[in-house]
């Protein structure tokens, strides 16, 4: 998923230009809210966390050194704010067991997905994301928002690139398994 | 193509249809208002103790010190103010010379001080990273 995001004028925001800050919020609000919603699984909580994230961005924008992409910096704040909220509400990170997914099943699912309309596929993805743990949802979302850049992803999550690769693989496996459960087995068999 | 690549292709296919969620109407306005409100509150510096309490405390401390010097001086035989001050210096050096800490206590205090410095640095870095 490609995002066309403008680099905000940090100096203008620091000088108190509310128009520039409002532009920044407009540019990033959907991304921040999407990540918050996928991690917290609750629209009200997600909106509150998204607001808190932008307040933190406003307060600490003077600390943005420009050694990473601005989006990476905002995602890092979003991720940490969501983790703080999860700790606060003591929501357990739902890591349920999942069935392994075989090569043949993956191939069949791919064929099924190719034939599903984009709108339906989007709905299906949302349902699957709801069942995924907060960390897996965040990891996959950031990976695709950041155009599959492992270096930026490792900066967001404060993890090494190798750890990110391993976690990404596991998150894909879990999402694949949830997808298999969500789709009607009969449909998969018909395509197989 | 192995399983891992097939799985990657499957998730790429699924995520290609990803669309963003939209927050409620007026989200931007709410955030900007909150941020500006927070900033104006930040600029309003309010010391924990008002100036008049600080001034009163300073006057009291100076008064006590002067009273102490006076009391000490009148109990002796000297008449010069500087001699009195010198006596206080001698008394304080004698007092500190009498203090005798065990090695264990000294090392404990030093280690405790070092640990506080270390913790301050670690915590400062942690909070900076969390906000950055």
Q: Are A179 and A128 in contact (CB under 8 A)?
A: yes
* Most confident by average pLDDT, A72-76, A100-104, A117-121: A72-76
**pLDDT number for residue A187:** 59
Asked if B15's CB is within 8 angstroms of A58's CB, the reply is: no
Residues of A in contact with B126 (CB under 8 A): none
At residue A92, does pLDDT exceed 70? no
Q: Which tokens is B12 given?
A: 């790429």
Question: Please, how many CA atoms are within 13 Å of residue B65, restricted to the half-sphere of its CB?
Answer: 8
Of the candidates A87, A80, A72, A59, the one whose C-alpha atom is nearest the C-alpha of residue A31 is A72
A134-189: pLDDT as tens digits: 999 999 998 988 777 888 889 899 899 999 999 999 999 998 888 888 876 655 55
What is the C-alpha separation between A61 and A75, in angstroms, rounded? 13
Place of tokens 């069935």: A99
Asked if A22's CB is within 8 angstroms of B23's CB, the reply is: no
Q: Nearest chain A Cα to B31, which residue?
A: A51
At residue A32, does pLDDT exceed 90? yes
Of the candidates B107, B31, B85, B122, the one whose C-alpha atom is nearest the C-alpha of residue A74 is B31
Q: List the single residue in A55, A63, A103 with the smallest CB-CB distance to B35.
A: A55
Q: How far is B128 from chain A (nearest CA, A)?
A: 8
> Does the complex come out with an ipTM higher than 0.90?
no
**pLDDT number for residue A98:** 67
Q: What share of chain B in percent tops pLDDT 70?
A: 81
Q: Nearest chain A Cα to B26, which residue?
A: A26
pTM more than 0.90: no
Find the mean pLDDT for residues B108-121. Answer: 94
**pLDDT number for residue A164:** 92
Q: Are A35 and A82 in contact (CB under 8 A)?
A: yes
What is the C-alpha separation between A173 and A179, in angstroms, rounded? 10
What is the C-alpha separation between A13 and A20, in angstroms, rounded? 6
Q: Between these two residues, A181 and A93, which has the higher pLDDT value?
A: A181
* Cβ neighbours around B9 below 10 Å, total: 15
Q: Nearest chain A Cα to B21, which residue?
A: A34
B64-102: pLDDT as tens digits: 988 877 776 666 555 566 676 777 777 777 777 777 888
Q: Are A3 and A71 in contact (CB under 8 A)?
A: yes
B6-62: pLDDT as tens digits: 888 888 888 888 888 999 999 999 999 888 877 666 555 677 788 899 999 999 999
Q: Which tokens is A81 given?
A: 């704010």
Q: Which tokens is A149 given?
A: 């850049």
Q: Which tokens is A20 given?
A: 């520039």
Q: List the single residue in B4, B21, B39 with the smallest CB-CB distance to A34.
A: B21
At residue A15, does pLDDT exceed 70? yes
């Amino acid at each position: 998923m490609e995002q066309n995001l403008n680099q905000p004028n940090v100096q203008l925001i620091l000088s108190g230009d509310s128009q520039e800050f409002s532009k920044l919020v407009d540019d990033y609000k959907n991304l921040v809210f999407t990540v918050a919603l996928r991690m917290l699984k609750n629209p009200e909580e997600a909106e509150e966390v998204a607001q808190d994230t932008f307040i933190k961005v406003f307060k600490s924008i003077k600390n943005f050194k420009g050694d990473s992409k601005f989006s990476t910096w905002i995602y890092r704040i979003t991720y940490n704010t969501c983790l703080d909220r999860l700790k606060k509400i003591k929501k357990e990170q739902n890591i349920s067991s999942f069935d392994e997914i075989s090569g043949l099943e993956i191939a069949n699912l791919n064929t099924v997905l190719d034939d599903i309309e984009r709108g339906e596929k989007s709905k299906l993805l949302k349902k699957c994301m709801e069942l995924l743990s907060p960390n897996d949802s965040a990891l996959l979302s950031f990976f695709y928002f950041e155009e599959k850049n492992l270096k930026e992803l490792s900066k967001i999550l404060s993890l090494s690139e190798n750890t990110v690769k391993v976690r990404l693989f596991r998150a894909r496996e879990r999402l694949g398994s949830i997808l298999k459960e969500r789709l009607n087995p009969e449909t998969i068999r018909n395509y197989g | 193509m192995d399983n891992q690549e097939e799985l990657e292709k499957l998730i790429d296919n699924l995520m290609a249809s990803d669309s963003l969620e939209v927050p409620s109407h007026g989200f931007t306005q709410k955030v900007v208002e909150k941020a500006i409100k927070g900033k104006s509150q930040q600029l309003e510096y309010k010391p924990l103790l008002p100036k008049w309490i600080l001034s009163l405390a300073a006057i009291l401390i100076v008064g006590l010190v002067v009273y102490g010097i006076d009391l000490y001086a009148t109990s002796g035989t000297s008449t010069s103010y500087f001699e009195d001050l010198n006596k206080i210096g001698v008394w304080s050096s004698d007092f500190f010379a009498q203090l005798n800490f065990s090695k264990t206590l000294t090392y404990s205090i030093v280690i405790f001080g070092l640990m506080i410095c270390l913790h301050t640095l670690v915590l400062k870095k942690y909070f900076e990273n969390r906000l950055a």
